[in-house]
Amino acid sequence: MSVDHEIVLPCTFVIFGATGNLASNKLLPALYHLEVAARLSESLSIVAFARRPWSDEEWRTHMREVLGSKVKGSLDTPVFQRFIARFRYQQGDLNNVASYQALADRLPPESACSSTVFYLAIKPAEFSAVIHNLEAVGLNKPRGLNRVVIEKPFGEDIESARVLNQLLHQNFGEEQVYRIDHFLGKETVQNLLVFRFANTLIEPLWNRNFIDHVQITVAESIGIEKRADYYDRAGALRDMLQNHLMQLLTVVAMEPPPALEADALRDEKVKVLRSIRPIAKRAVHAHAIRAQYARGNVEGQPVLGYQEEENVEPNSITETYVAAKFYIDNWRWRGVPFYLRTGKRMKHQTSMIAIRFRHPPQQLFRETPLESIEPNWILLSIQPDESMRMEIHVKQPGLDMDTRMMQMNASFLKTDEETLDAYETLLLDVIEGDRSLFLRFDEVEWAWRVVDPILKHWTVERDYIPTYAAGSWGPADSNRLFDNDDQTWRNEL
């Protein structure tokens, strides 16, 4: 990917919320794997900012415990010793400006280091305090060099997103802001651009003349993982569909950009979001459904229902599953439904883009045992396995005209190759100043505009929410979104 501006490598990487789940499960393992791959500059130091009254040595002990079960290979290596030697620990309160002054005093002077990354691995409700306090002690300067990384969700609705963006722009330049969506760092998602635009046999088929519909599924087998304080206010629509799934939709549907540059890519994605047909208030029921998981069995183990989870509000109607249908009114996609769904406590953990082609226009085989032919699919698996497959018909051996479906696997990894994790890719891009895979605010704003009618409709429907059994593929009622009887959810590769 191309870089927006002249590369200025940071010499300090600050993690706010360093003892939280995001840092422990994603950021620290990703940074360590970049160390193993020798992708971090020798001069880069890392500051862990958190509440606990620890020394540097106590923090490093914590790191060893956290990373022991999450990284590949042994930690008793010179590489791990080099990695933990990069770290310093800074005790602080996110709401106390004195803590930021103490942080500033530990950073290298501006004459020695011209760039610092501030990663906000914290609750969205705490973003405002951190941004204000960074500005109060001058850590938002020099503008254009110091960088702030914001995790999703970016706001709770379109109004709060605009307020947060205004706050950011009062204290940071747009080129300093990295709005992260880790799905865009997935190898399959990036490879989709190559699959579409570098293969002349694919791109001519990628339109309403050949494609019947598109499905985007992000299913999680886990529950809310003790995140009720956040999740019970957010729900699946805000937590997943408005950001991750909408971003996947834009990558599938976008036009070829003039160049693989950050703004060129984002311009095309915004055009897709602007072309999505608005959902009328009276049509929300026909375009979106929500549900909440009840008791059930996931991978053979009994699990609680959502309302029985720790710290969930009694009689909560927060959705843990959402499915929605969108149309893109442009020359390429007019009339092609895009079905998006995401849920927790589903049967399997999977993220997949499934593209179904139209039926052949001629019933050539009606006088044979093949009274009807299943349509072709392109299947893009994002997790747990990253792969691209195409389903086609071939004739079975024998005298009868019988066929079987074969999958052509366009796996992009050779047997001895490993790929970077999404967070590894994106952290490296932050460090190198490449904003191609990060979100511009107009992308965020238009994604909120798309889902805003659904949010507002559900806000006034507070009496009841349907349920689905944990360990299932969600509520059967989700099938009513389909335009035709021959359309069904694709659950497996």
Q: Which residues are catalytic?
A: 244
Number of neighbours of residue 45 by Cβ within 10 angstroms = 18
Question: Can you spell out the DSSP letters for 42-53?
Answer: TT-EEEEEESS-
CA distance 288 to 281: 11
CA distance 125 to 127: 6
Tell me, what amino acid is at 319? E
Task: With beta carbons less than 8 A apart as the criterion, state whether 224 and 236 touch.
Answer: no
Tell me, what amino acid is at 117? V
Q: Which two tokens stand for residue 263?
A: 């703004």
Element spanning 179, H or E? strand 177-179
Task: With beta carbons less than 8 A apart as the criterion, state whether 139 and 171 touch.
Answer: no
Sign of CA dihedral 272, 275, 277, 281: positive
- Kindly list the distances between the CA atom of residue 94 and the CA atoms of 122, 130, 316, in Å, as whole numbers in the listed order: 10, 6, 30
C-alpha of 39 from chain center = 23
- Classify 269 as helix, strand or coil: helix
CA distance 439 to 266: 7
CA distance 400 to 115: 70
Of 124, 121, 120, nearest to 134 (Cα)?
120
C-alpha of 394 from chain center = 36
- Kindly list the distances between the CA atom of residue 225 and the CA atoms of 23, 231, 232, 324, 382, in Å, as whole numbers in the listed order: 15, 10, 12, 25, 22
Q: Which two tokens stand for residue 46?
A: 């890392």
